[in-house]
């Protein structure tokens, strides 16, 4: 059982919507999960299923308008983030909770030296002389294994390679030792060899600092190698959650099985390094006009009448394995 004091993040029934001209998009619909100290939770699912909006909701960075969190709670280290005002939230971001993005240039300031940016981020949350903050910046660059950190600290983002920029962004995100790090596709913009290095770095630092990690990725190989638990999202909802071993060995949702169908060998014999999400025939339904039943039913080989009319509740299959599927018991038969 999970020790409650180890809980870093608790998300309950989160709902985030976008008010657009074509209607109300339910981007995140009733999603719950927890992250413990030092734990990695992976979020997987096809494009548009609500992974990034979930991440942005945690940081309270959903663009408003058109977006808004309309329900649920987000509790970070015992603090209800949805009850904070913007000034209080700014004290949390980059301090107790940080986010790294796919494209480092979205978080780095192109006209400011790398070291100064990290130092400024630290001074935003800790009162200290600028000299001391600059020393911390160099220390962080060393921690993310940037060679000659003191020299690199004086350079501008454009003087660094893509991989080095990603390291600098990680250094900045971790400078205040956050309890929670959110990484949204942190390596997809990088080439394959660099991807592996950056991922290994994130995991090393996470272990060293005891940071809870929410890792959003399309790559099931990455999930198998890094996460302890996985949630699978479809059309804004969590449709399955399990430990990584259970999910790969015995997925309960036909959608999860579909995502895995492209992997020739499952983890027992080693997951290939680049196991991308498989193409499942059909497309994700419009989030404006979701069917009354299971949103995956139109694409599901196992769908029966009930699937089209009644949304399946998340059922517990034991050991924290949750799946929202009327046919979950029969899934193994039809692979
Ligand atoms: N600024 C916005 N305005 C309106 N709708 C939006 C906006 N941002 C996101 N959405 C809606 O939220 C849904 C979920 O988007 P999100 O970016 O979370 O998907 P994702 O799972 O991260 O996809 P990807 O794998 O492509 O990154 C989208 O399908 C879209 O309908
Ligand atoms: Mg995304």
Please give the distance, rounded to the nearest whole angstrom, from the Cα atom of residue 298 to the centre of ligand 1. 21
286: Cβ below 6 Å to ligand 1?
Answer: no
Residue nearest to atom 28 of ligand 1 (CA): 48
Nearest CA to ligand 1 atom 9: 53
For the chain, the domains span: 257-265+275-335
Q: How far apart are CA 168 and CA 202, in angstroms?
A: 12
Q: Given the CA of residue 216, which atom of ligand 1 is nearest to it? A: 22
Q: How many angstroms separate the alpha carbon of residue 277 from the centre of ligand 2? A: 14
Give the C-alpha separation, 131 to 200, whole Å.
31
- At 312 the pLDDT is 96
- Under DSSP, the state recorded for 65 is T
Residue 27 near ligand 1, beta carbon < 6 Å: yes
Please tell me the distance between residue 269's alpha carbon and the centre of ligand 1 in angstroms: 35
Q: Which of 20, 25, 70 to mutate to test the pocket of ligand 1 (most atoms within 8 A of CB)?
A: 25
pLDDT of residue 208: 92
Nearest partner of 108 among 193, 198, 116, judged by Cα:
116
**This prediction's pTM:** 0.93
Counting ligands in written order, the one closest to the CA of 61 is 1
Closest CA relative to residue 103, chosen from 177, 145, 163 = 163
Residue 37 CA to ligand 1 centre (angstroms) = 28
The per-residue DSSP string of 165-209 comes to: HHHHHHHHHHTT--SEEEEESTTTTS-HHHHHHHHHHHHHHHHHH
Q: How far is CA 6 from CA 1, 20, 78, 226, 241, in A?
A: 11, 39, 11, 19, 20
* Exposure of 160 in the CB half-sphere (CA atoms within 13 A): 29
Instruction: Inform me whether the pLDDT recorded for 268 exceeds 60.
Output: no
Cα separation, 236 vs 53, in Å, equals 9
pLDDT recorded at residue 105: 76
Q: Which two tokens stand for residue 258?
A: 């579909």
- Tell me if 23 CB under 6 Å of ligand 1: no
Residue 48 Cβ contacting ligand 1 at under 6 Å? yes
Work out the angle at residue 192's Cα, subtended by the Cα atoms of residues 189 and 197, and round it to the nearest 5 degrees. Answer: 95
Integer Cα distance of 324 and 253 in angstroms: 7
Give residue 53's pLDDT: 97
pLDDT of the residue at 218? 82
User: What's the pLDDT band for 187 if we cut at 50, 70, 90?
Assistant: confident
Question: H/E element holding 80?
Answer: strand 79-80
| Residue-wise pLDDT tens digits, 117-135 | 999 999 999 999 999 999 9
Residue 192 banded pLDDT, cuts 50, 70, 90: confident
Query: What atom of ligand 1 comes closest to residue 63's alpha carbon?
Result: 1
Taking only the tens place, the pLDDT of each residue in 231-266 is 999 999 999 999 999 999 999 999 999 998 855 444
- Paired strand residues for 298: none
Each residue of 90-104: pLDDT tens digit?
Answer: 999 999 999 998 887
Mean pLDDT on 36-61: 96
Report the length, in residues, of the chain: 335
pLDDT of residue 3: 53
Confirm or reject: Cβ of 53 under 6 Å from ligand 1: yes
The two most distant CA atoms of the chain are separated, in Å, by: 68
- Closest C-alpha residue for ligand 1 atom 26: 47
pLDDT at 265: 46
Ligand showing the shortest atom-to-Cα distance for residue 48: 1
Q: How far apart are CA 295 and CA 157, in angstroms?
A: 43
pLDDT at 291: 80
């Amino acid at each position: 059982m999970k020790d409650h004091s180890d809980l870093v993040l608790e998300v309950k029934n989160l709902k985030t919507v976008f008010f657009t001209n074509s209607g109300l998009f339910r981007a995140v619909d009733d999603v719950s999960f927890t992250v413990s100290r030092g734990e990695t939770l992976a979020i997987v699912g096809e494009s548009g299923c609500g992974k990034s909006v979930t991440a942005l909701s945690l940081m309270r960075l959903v663009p408003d308008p058109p977006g808004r969190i309309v329900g649920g709670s987000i509790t970070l280290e015992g603090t209800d983030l949805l009850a904070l005002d913007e000034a209080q939230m700014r004290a949390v971001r980059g301090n107790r909770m940080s986010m790294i993005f796919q494209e480092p240039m979205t978080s780095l300031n192109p006209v400011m030296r790398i070291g100064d940016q990290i130092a400024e981020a630290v001074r935003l949350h800790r009162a200290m002389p600028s000299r001391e903050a600059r020393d911390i910046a160099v220390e962080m660059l060393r921690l993310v294994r940037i060679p000659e950190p003191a020299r690199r600290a004086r350079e501008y983002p454009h003087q660094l390679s893509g991989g080095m920029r990603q390291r600098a962004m990680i250094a900045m995100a971790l400078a205040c030792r956050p309890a929670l790090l959110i990484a949204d596709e942190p390596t997809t913009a990088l080439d394959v060899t660099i991807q592996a290095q950056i991922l290994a770095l994130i995991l090393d630092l996470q272990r060293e600092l005891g940071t809870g990690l929410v890792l959003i990725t399309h790559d099931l190989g990455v999930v198998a190698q890094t996460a302890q638990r996985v949630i699978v999202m479809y059309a804004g909802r969590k449709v399955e959650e399990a430990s990584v071993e259970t999910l790969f060995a015995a997925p309960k949702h036909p959608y999860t099985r579909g995502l895995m169908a492209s992997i020739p060998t499952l983890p027992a014999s080693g997951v290939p390094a680049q196991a991308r999400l498989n193409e499942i025939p059909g497309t994700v339904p419009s989030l404006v006009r979701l069917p009354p039943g299971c949103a995956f039913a139109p694409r599901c080989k196992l769908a029966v009448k009930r699937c089209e009319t009644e949304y399946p509740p998340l059922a517990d299959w034991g050991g924290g394995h949750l799946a929202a599927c009327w046919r979950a018991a029969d899934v193994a038969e039809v692979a």
